Amino acid sequence: MSVNTQDMEVVHRAFRRESRLLIELVAAAPLGNTARAEVIADHFRDYRLGLQNHHEGEDELLWPPLLARVDLQADIVLRMQAQHERIEATLTRLDAAVPVWETTAGADERDTAVAVLVEHRAVLLEHLDDEEATLLPLAAEYLTEKEWAALGDHLVANTPKRTLFTLFGLVLEEADRAERAALLGGLPTPVRALWHVIGRPRYARRIRRIRAA
């Protein structure tokens, strides 16, 4: 029986959307409004941490078992690794550009941040599309349920709880009814209750602030 990798496709949808929205939000931020820049920069840092932990989980838990079990398709895994390195290079540039823009909210600093965000999104989309088309079928065939679940465990273990609420909310936005039920159903009962009572209202408040015109 193959592993169901649909949850990763839902996560990818959230990264696609937020990488686009970050470009739009930074480009539209009023010049000189450092308070607004700080809100958007904070969201970038949540996005960045989520993407970093997502990719580190793959680097540590996905690529090694696949490389040990595939032969002719090993080039696919190696290509994924190379794409991760390209994405990380753009994130490193954003780690420099976003704080400078956050501090000044100036036009030149904004334009630099937007340009790097555009470059980041281009390499990210290339990777996500390729991974879904070529890598996820391999994962479904060659990984165990326990190995696949370890990716989610890694993200939870390496992400602050408040940021987890934000990331989970972002993913749920992209899920249809069946996917939402599966994602929520996969949470332990206490955690699911915590999401409904605390996480969801907090996420709604935060996302309204981030996406405010």
Q: How much is the pLDDT for 187? A: 86
Catalogue the E-assigned strands of 109-179: none
- What does the DSSP 8-state code read for residue 73? T
168's tokens: 């989970």
Q: Is 32 left (phi over 0), alpha (psi -120 to 50) or beta?
A: left
Question: For the chain, which residues make up each domain, given as ranges?
Answer: 6-158
Q: Mean pLDDT for each consecutive 10-residue tract of the chain (213 residues)? A: 90 98 98 98 98 97 94 91 98 98 98 98 98 96 94 92 94 95 90 93 95 80
pLDDT of residue 193: 94
Q: What is the pLDDT of residue 1?
A: 62
pTM (two decimals) = 0.95
> The domain at 6-158 falls in which architecture?
Up-down Bundle (1.20)
From 186, 155, 153, 190, select the one nearest 172 (Cα to Cα): 186
Q: How many CB atoms lie within 10 A of CB 137?
A: 14
User: Which pair of tokens denotes residue 31?
Assistant: 């010049």
